[in-house]
Amino acid sequence: MSLGSERLLPYQYVVLRCVPRVDREEFLNVGVALYCQAADYLDALAHVDRARVEAFAGGVDLDRLESSLAAVRAVCRGDHAAGAAGRADRGARFGFVKAPRSTILQPGPVHGGLTTDPARQLEHLLDRLVR
Sketch the domain layout of the chain as residue ranges. 2-112
Q: Which of 44, 43, 36 is nearest to 17 (CA)?
A: 44
Q: Which of 10, 31, 24, 29 is nearest to 97 (CA)?
A: 31
In a structure prediction context, what are the per-residue pLDDT tens digits for the chain, which is 131 residues long? 666 668 999 999 999 999 998 888 899 999 999 999 999 999 999 999 999 999 999 999 999 999 999 999 999 999 999 999 999 999 999 999 999 887 899 999 999 999 999 999 999 999 999 99
Beta strands at 105-107 and 6-7: parallel, antiparallel or unpaired: unpaired
Give helix then strand counts, H and E, for the chain.
Answer: 5, 7
State how far the Cα of 104 lies from the Cα of 90, in Å rounded to an integer: 24
